[in-house]
Amino acid sequence: VLDPVMVSTSGHRLVEENAIEVIQNRLMSLSRVITPNIPEAEILAGCKIEGEKDFEKVARLLSHHSGVSVLLKAGHLDGKYLVDYFYNAENGTMTKLPSKRVQTRNTHGTGCTLSSAFAAALAKGEELTSAAKSAKRYIEQAIYAGANQSIGNGFGPVNHNFNPQKMLINESK
């Protein structure tokens, strides 16, 4: 699982141009899944994402170019609800992964945590789409659990120490 960390949640560019070529031409081909946020997907796909209406097209485009499955994250969009899209390149299915937005500044590390949760679910033997759903549920819970923490200034971390065995967010939305 590759999280192409190129643009932070706050919009800062984190890599130089030559690193993008390495991600596109070397790392993606070694991966089973990539988990870009919107600015990263725009860089990798070479096109602008105007909103959720573009997610399916861009996820398929990224998959076609790299041969990997794509979990396109919606965190940079506005709105009460977020819908990530998961394109499973292994069976050609598109799955929407909705969640309610949690109002918090504690979102530092969401992409890394999501990709790690995805890799952990795969390592436990979950099927690809099931692992995407598990990872989405984990990060949603970690954000919710850390929403009211107060650690330093700026964007704080999600709460990796919550008990995933206990339901924090009601399943019925």
Q: Are 116 and 129 in contact (CB under 8 A)?
A: no
Instruction: Give residue for tokens 């997610």.
Output: 55
166 alpha carbon, distance to own chain's centre = 23
Q: Which residues contact 45 (CB under 8 A, 6 or more apart)?
A: 58, 61, 62, 65
Residue with tokens 């819908």: 83
Residues assigned a catalytic role: 73, 107, 109-112
